Amino acid sequence: MVQSSMADEVEMFFFPFVGGGHQIPMIDLARLFASLGVKSTIVAAPNNALSFQRSIARDRDSGRSISIHPLDLPPGSEPPDSDMSAAPFTDTSMLQEPLRHLLIARRPDCIIADTFHRWSADVIDAVGVPRIVFNGNGCFSRSAQELMRIHRPHDKVDSEYCPFEIPGLPDRIVMTKSQLPHFHKLSGSGKLSGRTLNSEDRSLGVVVNSFLDLEPAYVEYFKKEMAKKAWVIGPVSLCNRNVEDKAERGQRAAIDEQSCLSWLNAKEPNSVLYVSFGSLARLTPKQLLEIAYGLEASSCSFIWAIGKIFEPMENGEGGREDWLPSGLEERLKESKRGLIIRGWAPQLLILEHPSVGGYMTHCGWNSTLEGVSAGVPMVTFPHSAEQFFNEKLITDVLRIGVQVGSMEWTSWNAQPGPPVGREKVEAAVRKVMDGGEKAAEMRRRAKELGEKAKRAVEEGGSSYEEAEALIQELKSRKKV
Ligand code: UDP
């Protein structure tokens, strides 16, 4: 992106939450605005800056005005859990007073705050600094959930597995009750908590990590019917332009980038499936076993980033290592058909490699956008949060993916339901990777969307323009 000389007096603060799926895009946001000439400051818990300080240092070296401000905690208070497993309800309220003092001292032109800092709206509004909300979701899932709240179609079905259609959407979207977050099922509810919503109503507006061409009807619905004001400025992950940034995003990868890249370089274009379920999901050993058998039977090459594991099997077996089918890892090494990463994967680096031709994903919003931006078709395997809605966007609206057949929504901290079987895993992988006519169509659509994603963030693209519009709005507010 080109530096804008018009914007150099604008100072924006970014206040990320302390978990992977929320923290990562907020850091990208700060870097994106710095690339547009804004003075960006990332306000972080003191123990939290380590995971992204190197990419910020590189941006500074290249002349951008970006810095990290670690908050000083009051004596005796513990910082929030800051590894990538910080969950949606991690308490960050110990940051309240330090943030308040910082805002009073510095008075930035605005602060973009993550909605999971539930206390932050009151503190920021009391100081009088313009506040913008970041909630990490796309417009399709928010619109679909709003229409569910209004019409409650799930109240009219008899069972958890009886399909219903969400009324009022431009596309036919069918779901089951079993795929819904629990709060939708509460009577008179089905929406974010009042506190969260009020906080959006009282804000200057919302920044959305998405792009217009991805979900035009839903961007329109969200802007017209739901948001006070919205700037749709993604995919923010595309601000990571060099290998170091891609390799270290979020945290240090559990594999060195060179061995990962040389493994991929030896593969044919579009021949490898990347398998990952994000930063939070904890799969049971039984589910991992079914995935392992399904992947092996699919005959497709794959890189599998194995994240968190829920618990050992009831019989006491299946601790961290011994759930894999016997001999699988040796067979994979010998045949060079599979690469298993235990821990954090350099996801952007992998997804953007030309050998990667498919992505089995839990449909977290960042991962969805990253798959879209890389132009790869997906095998959708949602678990929690709004992931079942994102799945429908991928498979039923964009038609760039195949559902594995996940039926059970599970809270991030609860025992997952019965596993999706190996036959389903194998069948879905084959549909995406077999090179047949339908797969080729899907791949063509995915590639086209990937191109559109890249165009959106280039100068003159829709996301670029909306980011500029936000900067202009902040500049004009300074003058009043
Ligand atoms: N991620 C990564 N390596 C991993 C797992 C996750 O880089 O091994 C990144 C991924 O690229 C994405 C984020 O972590 O940016 C996960 O966010 P998402 O919204 O997809 O899911 P969540 O982790 O919040 O469930």
Domain count, the chain: 2
Rounded to an integer, the average pLDDT of 362-371 is: 98
HEC string of 370-402 equals HHHHHCCCEEECCCCCCHHHHHHHHHHHCCCEE
ipTM score assigned to the predicted complex: 1.00
Rounded to an integer, the average pLDDT of 31-44 is: 97
Assess whether the C-beta atom of 17 lies below 6 angstroms from ligand 1: no
Tell the residue nearest (CA) to atom 6 of ligand 1. 278
Residue located via tokens 């009750």: 177
Residue 322 has pLDDT above 80, yes or no: no
Domain match, 93 and 232 both:
yes
Across 140-201, where does the E strand assignment appear? 164-165, 174-175
Task: Give the tens place of pLDDT for each residue, 160-177.
Answer: 999 999 999 999 999 999
Domain match, 327 and 350 both:
yes
Give the closest residue to 47 by CA, choosing from 27, 68, 24: 68
- Backbone φ and ψ for 263, nearest 5 degrees, come out as -60, -45
Q: Is residue 151 in a domain?
A: no
Give the closest residue to 365 by CA, choosing from 210, 192, 221, 174: 210
Q: Is residue 420 in a domain?
A: yes
Rounded to an integer, the average pLDDT of 440-457 is: 98
Catalytic sites, residue numbers: 22, 114
Q: Which of 16-30, 83-97, 313-327, 360-374 has the highest mean pLDDT?
A: 360-374
What is the predicted pLDDT for the residue at 190? 45
Domain match, 277 and 233 both:
no
What is the predicted pLDDT for the residue at 9? 84
Q: Is residue 169 in a domain?
A: no
Domain match, 221 and 351 both:
no
Q: Is residue 65 in a domain?
A: yes
CATH of the domain at 27: 3.40.50.2000
> pLDDT band at 394, cuts 50/70/90?
very high
CA of 366 to the centre of ligand 1 (A): 6
Domain match, 42 and 81 both:
yes
More confident residue, 322 or 358: 358
> pLDDT band at 261, cuts 50/70/90?
very high
Tell the residue nearest (CA) to atom 23 of ligand 1. 279
Domain match, 187 and 283 both:
no
What is the predicted pLDDT for the residue at 368? 98
Domain match, 13 and 103 both:
yes
Rounded to an integer, the average pLDDT of 17-35 is: 92
Atom of ligand 1 nearest to the CA of 368: 20
Q: Is residue 145 in a domain?
A: no
Domain match, 464 and 437 both:
no
Percent of the chain with pLDDT over 70: 92
Query: Domain range spanning residue 322?
Result: 256-454
Q: Is residue 81 in a domain?
A: yes
Rounded to an integer, the average pLDDT of 277-288 is: 91
Ordered alpha helix ranges (H), 152-256: 182-185, 194-201, 216-221, 243-247
Task: Give the tens place of pLDDT for each residue, 117-161.
Answer: 999 999 999 999 999 999 999 999 999 999 999 999 999 999 999
Domain match, 319 and 459 both:
no
Residue 222 has pLDDT above 80, yes or no: yes
Give the closest residue to 410 by CA, choosing from 418, 401, 402: 418
Q: Is residue 158 in a domain?
A: no
Domain match, 459 and 431 both:
no
As a whole number of Å, the CA-based R_g of the chain is: 22
What is the predicted pLDDT for the residue at 479? 74
Tell the residue nearest (CA) to atom 3 of ligand 1. 345
CA of 371 to the centre of ligand 1 (A): 11
Residue 326 has pLDDT above 90, yes or no: no
> pLDDT band at 308, cuts 50/70/90?
confident
Tell the residue nearest (CA) to atom 11 of ligand 1. 347
* Strand pairing category for 308-309 and 230-232: unpaired
Report the distance separating Cα 365 and Cα 132, nearest Å.
19
Rounded to an integer, the average pLDDT of 180-201 is: 68
Task: Give the lowest-confidence range in 194-208, 274-288, 329-343.
Answer: 194-208
Domain match, 84 and 49 both:
yes
Q: Is 343 left (phi over 0), alpha (psi -120 to 50) or beta?
A: left
Using a cut of 0.90, tell me whether the model's pTM lies above it. yes
What is the predicted pLDDT for the residue at 373? 98
Q: Is residue 149 in a domain?
A: no
Residue 205 has pLDDT above 80, yes or no: yes
Assess whether the C-beta atom of 278 lies below 6 angstroms from ligand 1: yes
Domain match, 307 and 376 both:
yes
